[in-house]
Structure 1
Amino acid sequence: MSVRRLVLLLGDQLDPQISSLRDADPARDRILLVEAAEEGRYVPHHPQKILFILSAMRHFAAHLREQGFIVDYITLDDPANTGSLDGELARARAQYKPDSILLTEPGEWRLLERFCQRQSDWPELELRADTRFFCSKERFARWADGRKQLRMEYFYREMRRESGLLMTPDGEPEGGAWNFDADNRKALPRGTRVPEQAHFPVDRITGKVEVLVREHFADHYGQLDGFDYPVTHADADALWQHFRQHALASFGDYQDAMASDEHWLFHARIAAAMNIGLLDPRRICLDVQADWQAGAVPLNAAEGFIRQILGWREYVRGIYWLMMPEYAERNAFGNQRALPEFYWTGQTRMRCMQQAIGQTLEHAYAHHIQRLMVTGNFALLAGVEPSQICDWYLAVYMDAFDWVELPNTLGMVMHADGGFLGSKPYCASGQYIKRMSDYCSGCSYKVSEQTGARACPFNALYWHFIMRHREQLKGNPRMGLVYRNLQRMPEAKQQALWDWGEHLLARLDAGDAL
């Protein structure tokens, strides 16, 4: 059979406008989608994440066939499946001998490097830029060139100017400020009614994939029961419209809030769908702007939401491609401690960790403050080796792909890049968690106590972290107040905090769950 182009689509490229499908001809081109066991196992991905991606792939293949394309779909249980993406591409290449092979650049360095190496043997392989983002790799590199610090705020302002989002006709930010973050740090008031989530029943295709996932990934942490994510473009849009109608207006106020047994609060739950191509980030931002213009949502909610996409999402992708592969090896604090086993089980007496890890294992989801200031904060304070916590985040979260997960975890959570991405470590004692949640109520530990068997572990670990990294951090302008407070602290109290921190860390090293 004569094939002009063989187009390989990856599991996070399920967008009909993806660059590899540009000018594709159903009469002469062939599409290849592969369920590669290797992609589910290079870290132990959450079973729901695997189910989500494979089901979305199968639904997208059906959509392409409806458009007239011939689609070769290699299932996980196909006896001839080599188990890897490039192995299946090599098999299809030998079978069809296409004039050209098209692939939109992968979002992970390891895959891009692998396919770039293939190009030396396969001259017909063309890698096209991923155009689904506001800012190309080359555009970000131009912005970064010559700057001593690559702060997200200044990149975000440039993206606002270029996109015109939330900008006045004379080029000023709507509302007279670039961000309204100070308005977006409210704890959830007692009795606040949280909107119901949209639900997406498991259909026949998803049900068949679920059987495969149970068989092939039974040893992975995380529940498969209760899967409730959209796996088609139509359902992803329904989830987005539900959020716009029921939650967007309150997103700004409560985006940092946490509450017991409330998994979603006022969050959209669309990141995973957006990251695999089921939703268009440009359209999402335009919808939010339109809702603000219509008076349906306040400016702090609209700006806060757009900043997550136009600012932070684009920024971390730019950092990833600018700094890889060296970036992944950074470990500014020299951390060597193993990730505690309770990250995989949720079996800990710390209620905040129970809540964040428990819902992660149940739903493959936690929002950004649960990740940054609970599970991430603990890993930072405990001195966990960066690659281990990075692999955990990549494995357990539905929306985690290397380009977005690695800078967020290594840079923002662990400060392992030495301050390249964040101007200070995001470390905090239990008082922050108390302020932003109700997790401390009913906890086995007392957030008001700093040392002793009943004391919240975050408290002593926080001061232990501050003391052990004094030489690295005391010159940081944003840490000055912390070190002045430490200096004013009686030596006996400092010693007690240090000793209790040492005790807690020794328990972690012994494999104890705090």
Structure 2
Amino acid sequence: MAKPAHTLRLILGDQLNLQHSWFQEVDEGVCYVMAELHSETGYVRHHIQKIVGFFLAMRHFAAELEKQGHRVIYFKLGESGADDFTGLIKHMVAELKPQRFEYLLPDEYRLDQALAALDGELGIPVAAADTEHFLSPRDGVARFFKGKKTYLLESFYRDMRKQYGILMEEDGVSPLTGQWNYDQDNRKKLPQKQDIPKPLHFRRDVSDIVNLIREAGVETIGHIDLEYFYWPVTREECLELLAHFARIQLHLFGTYQDAMTDRGYLLFHSKLSFAMNTKILHPLEVVNTCVSYWEGHQDKVGISQIEGFVRQIIGWREYMRGIYWAKMPEFAGLNYFEHHAPLPDWYWTGDTKMKCLSTAIGQSLDHAYAHHIQRLMVTGNFALLLGVSPDELDEWYLGIYMDAIEWVEITNTRGMSQFADGGIVGTKPYVSSANYIHKMSDHCSSCAYHHKEKTGHMACPFNSLYWDFYDRHAGRLGKNPRIGMMYRVWEKMDAGQKEDILKQAAYYKENANQL
């Protein structure tokens, strides 16, 4: 029989915030419970590195709480006997007989609903506390745009800058340099002679935890080196990664944040999203560290580099979370284009002749990581052109990436990438032909397909599918002012050329698994 507690508190795997007010004082009557559950490993097929990373981070977090004197009950996979968090809490309440149950507000709708339903079922008071992580409340975006049809990121981002005094003049209302956004400066292709910094990798043997996962019958995707798991999972490691980014990568982050290459998987990106999405690092902590470095190294780090990074965190990240809570659960079912095609089999293997896709997918399987342009303009772009079901694509993105938690994944995938929301997140679909990929990468030079060709043997599939996409969705997109020019180009093509392009696209759609 476990020692009774007057308060039982649940900590989820993405709530590893040691700075939370819960943990600032030790109370022997408070018992914290954490658990590795099958329900969290099986709602989609996750990358093996993702499951290992979450479990390791949770175990280190629990050990740190115990070191500080807190009482923690931690269940490894298969130990709790519970199928999900609802069953776990009911069991723990019966075992410990607490006077109250408390939890931190989940960031996923399904868990939020499941835990909220416990109020009234446990026979004791139930209370939820804020995670003290995000810079805006759950309903912050909804309130900011109340009464407006369009949720414009830029206006929200500027408001966040003002609220927190980040990169602002002393008056608190004007941006440093007089310019809010340097996005136009941050779209450069990586030159062949540009040196790429070596990623900071950590090293630990994870054979025991991988064996536990496999013995439990958890289905996973992706690859893992049992003796060289290199993701940061402790607060010390995450802080080291943050410092490394500021010193080594920040100075060219903005310039090459959209670039893609065969020569490296990380380039000048920080890879801090897992550390933030598990709440090991606070977003202000990350931003302030990088702003401080910029302030002391303006001869090395330009304003466009730091502004681009700040925009991603206090703008885009907060904005996407706000969209999630404003539009769920309906958002998860939106399918504006009524796309229902299956995801090609090679999304799970990387075995395609298209170099940009084989690189992005292969990298994702190897590292559980791809940067935002690879996700948006390669894997997402192709799936949208092909007409893939947003449901299937959501599952793929949610499973394959280390940082993928539904609040940030689904808004980026179903919203930004697939335009399945009909324009809530973006004002136009983010589609392109091979021209964009050639412009931003070195992939096309070593691809089996010809990036300049629309039709014919080994013509790049992106090209014919691009025009096919616009043709079949003319009724929905023809009046969109941001893409009217593309329809004018399409209309000016002669009938024979259009017919050839659409035939080529039809062939590629019918034979997607062989591409």
- 1:156-179 Cα shifts (integer Å, max 9, x gaps): 011111111011012211121111
Q: In the TM superposition, what are the counterparts of 1:416-455 in structure 2 within 5 Å?
A: 416-455=420-459
Partner of 2:208 in structure 1?
A: 208
Q: Which amino acid in structure 2 is aligned with residue 350 of structure 1?
A: M
Separation in structure 1 between the aligned mates of residue 481 and residue 423 of structure 2, nearest angstrom: 12
For residue 513 of structure 1, report the CA deviation from its aligned partner: 2.6
Separation in structure 2 between the aligned mates of residue 375 and residue 448 of structure 1, nearest angstrom: 20
For residue 77 of structure 1, report the CA deviation from its aligned partner: 3.4
Q: Which amino acid in structure 2 is aligned with residue 216 of structure 1?
A: A
- Equivalenced residues, count: 507
Partner of 1:191 in structure 2?
A: 193
- 1:10-69 Cα shifts (integer Å, max 9, x gaps): 0000111336x2665332111101000110110001000000000010011110010001
1:408 to 2:412 alignment: yes
- 1:206-246 Cα shifts (integer Å, max 9, x gaps): 44323212333564220022531011000011111111111
Q: Is the 8 A contact 2:15 2:131 kept in 1?
A: no
SS at match of 2:180: coil
1:327 to 2:331 alignment: yes
Partner of 1:56 in structure 2?
A: 57
Moved more, 253-262 or 287-296: 287-296
Separation in structure 1 between the aligned mates of residue 89 and residue 314 of structure 2, nearest angstrom: 34
- Structure 2 residue corresponding to 1:458, chosen from 456, 462, 481: 462
Q: Is the 8 A contact 2:238 2:280 kept in 1?
A: yes
Q: Is the 8 A contact 1:12 1:276 kept in 2?
A: yes
Q: Which amino acid in structure 1 is aligned with residue 230 of structure 2?
A: D
Partner of 1:223 in structure 2?
A: 223
Q: In the TM superposition, what are the counterparts of 1:379-418 in structure 2 within 5 Å?
A: 379-418=383-422
Q: Is the 8 A contact 1:261 1:355 kept in 2?
A: no
SS at match of 2:32: strand
SS at match of 1:126: strand
Q: Is the 8 A contact 1:185 1:255 kept in 2?
A: yes
Q: Which amino acid in structure 2 is aligned with residue 26 of structure 1?
A: D
Q: In the TM superposition, what are the counterparts of 1:169-184 in structure 2 within 5 Å?
A: 169-170=170-171, 171-184=173-186
Q: Is the 8 A contact 2:356 2:378 kept in 1?
A: yes
1:367 to 2:384 alignment: no
1:139 to 2:126 alignment: no
Partner of 1:108 in structure 2?
A: 108
1:351 to 2:355 alignment: yes
For residue 3 of structure 1, report the CA deviation from its aligned partner: 1.0
Partner of 2:382 in structure 1?
A: 378
Structure 2 unaligned regions, length at least 5:
none
Q: Is the 8 A contact 1:230 1:273 kept in 2?
A: yes
Partner of 2:160 in structure 1?
A: 159
Separation in structure 2 between the aligned mates of residue 207 and residue 452 of structure 1, nearest angstrom: 49
- 1:388-447 Cα shifts (integer Å, max 9, x gaps): 101110000000000000100000000000011100000000110000000111211110
Moved more, 208-217 or 146-155: 208-217
Partner of 2:16 in structure 1?
A: 14
Separation in structure 2 between the aligned mates of residue 22 and residue 322 of structure 1, nearest angstrom: 30
- 1:136-192 Cα shifts (integer Å, max 9, x gaps): 013322212111211111110111111110110122111211110000000000121
Q: Is the 8 A contact 1:102 1:127 kept in 2?
A: yes
Separation in structure 1 between the aligned mates of residue 213 and residue 232 of structure 2, nearest angstrom: 17
Separation in structure 2 between the aligned mates of residue 216 and residue 431 of structure 1, nearest angstrom: 46
Separation in structure 2 between the aligned mates of residue 386 and residue 369 of structure 1, nearest angstrom: 18
Partner of 1:72 in structure 2?
A: 73
SS at match of 1:101: strand
Q: TM-score, normalised by structure 2?
A: 0.96
Q: In the TM superposition, what are the counterparts of 1:22-61 in structure 2 within 5 Å?
A: 25-61=26-62
- Structure 2 residue corresponding to 1:303, chosen from 289, 302, 307: 307
Moved more, 394-403 or 485-494: 485-494
1:498 to 2:502 alignment: yes
Moved more, 438-447 or 194-203: 194-203
Q: TM-score, normalised by structure 1?
A: 0.96
Q: Is the 8 A contact 1:227 1:363 kept in 2?
A: no
Q: Is the 8 A contact 2:341 2:389 kept in 1?
A: yes
SS at match of 1:441: helix
SS at match of 2:509: helix
Q: Is the 8 A contact 1:18 1:104 kept in 2?
A: no
Separation in structure 1 between the aligned mates of residue 347 and residue 23 of structure 2, nearest angstrom: 42
Q: Is the 8 A contact 1:346 1:354 kept in 2?
A: yes
Q: Which amino acid in structure 1 is aligned with residue 370 of structure 2?
A: A
Q: Which amino acid in structure 2 is aligned with residue 127 of structure 1?
A: A
Q: Is the 8 A contact 1:75 1:81 kept in 2?
A: no
CA-atom RMSD, angstroms?
1.4
Structure 1 unaligned regions, length at least 5:
none
